[in-house]
Structures are given as C-alpha cells and as structure tokens.
Chains A and B, each alone.
Chain A
Amino acid sequence: SQPVTMNAFELISKSQGLNLSSLFEK
C-alpha cells in the first residue's frame, strides 16, 4: 500500500495509546 493512499484516521487508530485491550493483560 502506498503511503499517500492512507487514510489519516486509519493511521491514527493504530496508536498503541488507543489499544485498550492492553488494560486486560495480566
């Protein structure tokens, strides 16, 4: 995939800070 075709919000949504599943890891 070419960077210029990326959706900026799609990119942002990959942030580790938005991955709340980490809260449930023991």
Chain B
Amino acid sequence: RRVTGGKDEL
C-alpha cells in the first residue's frame, strides 16, 4: 500500500 505520494485512483 502506497501511503503517501501520488494516487493512481481518481
């Protein structure tokens, strides 16, 4: 799980 940074989902 990517916590910080850019999000892939809209």
Do A and B assemble together?
no
Residues of B within 8 A of A (CB): none
